[in-house]
């Protein structure tokens, strides 16, 4: 049974969920993806006996940071959260954006029993096309501040960010500057610093964080193992719930 709770961390009102009887040693700590929330993982959490799932700052029903945050800020937030709840040696499980927070957290030598990366973000390859679009978008932002061009701004903006596969940027709202910081952080060098035993779970047909990223992470994280889930894309735990749960639940025992 899931219990909904609130807590103040770094002066932010944070909502989270936990199992009815939580063992604060080795609890699973779930970190959701960008634009998502803790309950996106509900079907799997209901099969877990010992967990905490957080609406990360700015998402779900948790208060947004007052300034733009980096992955380092989110990592420090996780550290403060776990300390306040007195959770020790957790199993950190992160999907997409949540996975990149997990990478940052573990590469900073925070003690974890295990890291589980689910279609994790974090590898940001240089892309000249995307860089050009971002520069063009800034220029257009200045041009469309002119009154007689204002009506065209939203149309052009959406076309540009759709062209670079950045729907998340369009929908970031108050977290736009945070999104810019996060999307520009390449964690490739952090992967080699992780000593935590790591499990990677990837949808075979993931288009948002391609399987090639998962394979590279598997190569760079010393003590890691990659599971590939068939007939699944980025939301692997929803696309192929049965196969995902068999893997995930076997890794948190």
What is the per-residue pLDDT for 140? 52
The whole-number pLDDT of residue 192 equals 96
Mean pLDDT of 67-79: 97
User: Looking at residue 230, what is its pLDDT?
Assistant: 95
Q: In angstroms, rounded to a whole number, what is the distance separating the alpha carbons of residues 24 and 167?
A: 37
- Its pTM stands at 0.84
pLDDT digits (tens, 9 = 90+) for 11-67: 999 999 999 988 989 999 999 999 999 999 999 999 999 999 999 999 999 999 999
Domain membership of residue 150 (yes or no) is: yes
The confidence score (pLDDT) of residue 106 equals: 97
Q: Is 117 found in the same domain as 18?
A: yes
| Chain segment 202-221, per-residue pLDDT in tens | 999 999 999 999 999 999 99
Provide the pLDDT confidence category of residue 8 given band limits of 50, 70 and 90.
very high
Between CA 164 and CA 31 the distance in angstroms is 26
93 and 138, same domain (yes or no): no
Angle at 82 between CA 76 and CA 85, to 5 degrees: 140
| CATH number for the domain harbouring residue 39 | 3.40.50.1820
Comparing 173 with 180, the larger pLDDT belongs to 180
Q: Report how far residue 31's alpha carbon sits from residue 53's, in angstroms, rounded to the nearest whole number.
A: 7
Q: Are residues 81 and 138 in the same domain?
A: no
pLDDT at 138 over 90: no
Burial (CB count within 10 angstroms: exposed 0-12, middle 13-18, buried 19+), residue 146: exposed
pLDDT of residue 219: 97
Cβ(209)–Cβ(119) under 8 Å? yes
| Separation CA 92–CA 97 (nearest Å) | 13
Percentage of the chain with pLDDT > 70?
A: 81
Note whether 86 and 64 are within 8 A (CB). no
90 and 154 share a domain?
Answer: no
pLDDT higher than threshold 50 for residue 247: yes
Question: 175, 193, 210 — which closes off a domain?
Answer: 175
**How many domains does the chain fold into?**
2
Predicted local distance difference test score (pLDDT) of residue 174: 79
For residues 158 and 195, state if they share a domain. Answer: no
- Given 145, 175, 205, the domain boundary residue is 175
Task: Please tell me the distance from the alpha carbon of residue 227 to that of residue 203, in angstroms, as a whole number.
Answer: 9
Lowest mean pLDDT among 148-157, 158-167, 185-194: 158-167
pLDDT over 50 at 225, yes or no: yes
The string of DSSP codes covering the chain is -EEEEEEEETTEEEEEEEESS--SBS-EEEE--TT--GGGGHHHHTT-SSEEEE--TTSTTSPPPSS---HHHHHHHHHHHHHHHT-BS-EEEEETHHHHHHHHHHHTT---SEEEEES--------HHHHHHHHHHHHHHHHTTSGGGGGGHHHHHHHHHHHTT-HHHHT-GGGHHHHHHHHT---HHHHTT--S-EEEEEETT-TTTTHHHHHHHHHHSTTEEEEEETT--SSHHHHTHHHHHHHHHHH--
In percent, the amount of the chain with pLDDT more than 90 equals 74
Q: What is the mean pLDDT of the segment spanning 231-251? A: 97
Q: Domain for residue 180, yes or no?
A: no
Whether the predicted pLDDT of 250 surpasses 60: yes
In this prediction, residue 21 carries a pLDDT of 86
Radius of gyration of the chain (CA): 19
Q: Which domain holds residue 155?
A: 128-175
Question: Within a 10 A sphere around the Cβ of 113, how many other Cβ atoms?
Answer: 16
* Whether the predicted pLDDT of 163 surpasses 70: no
């Amino acid at each position: 049974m899931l219990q909904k709770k609130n807590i103040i961390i770094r002066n932010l009102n944070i909502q989270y969920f936990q199992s009815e009887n939580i063992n604060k040693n080795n609890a699973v700590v779930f970190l959701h993806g960008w634009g998502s929330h803790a309950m996106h993982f509900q079907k799997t959490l209901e099969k877990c006996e010992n967990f905490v799932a957080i609406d990360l700052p700015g998402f779900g029903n948790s208060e947004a940071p007052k300034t733009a945050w980096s992955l380092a800020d989110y990592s420090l937030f996780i550290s403060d959260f776990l300390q306040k709840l007195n959770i020790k040696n957790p199993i950190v499980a992160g999907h997409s954006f949540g996975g990149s927070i997990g990478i940052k957290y573990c590469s900073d030598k925070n003690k974890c029993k295990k890291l589980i990366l689910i279609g994790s973000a974090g590898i940001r390859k240089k892309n000249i096309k995307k860089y050009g679009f971002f520069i063009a978008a800034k220029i257009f932002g200045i041009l469309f501040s002119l009154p007689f061009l204002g009506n065209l701004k939203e149309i052009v903006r959406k076309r540009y960010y759709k062209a670079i596969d950045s729907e998340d940027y369009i929908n970031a709202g108050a977290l736009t500057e945070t999104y810019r910081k996060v999307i520009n952080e390449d964690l490739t060098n952090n992967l080699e610093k992780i000593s935590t035993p790591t499990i990677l779970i990837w949808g075979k047909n993931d288009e948002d964080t391609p399987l090639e990223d998962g394979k590279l992470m598997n190569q760079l994280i010393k003590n890691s193992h990659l599971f590939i889930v068939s007939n699944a894309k980025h939301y692997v735990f929803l696309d192929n719930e049965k196969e995902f749960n068999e893997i995930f639940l076997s890794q948190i025992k």
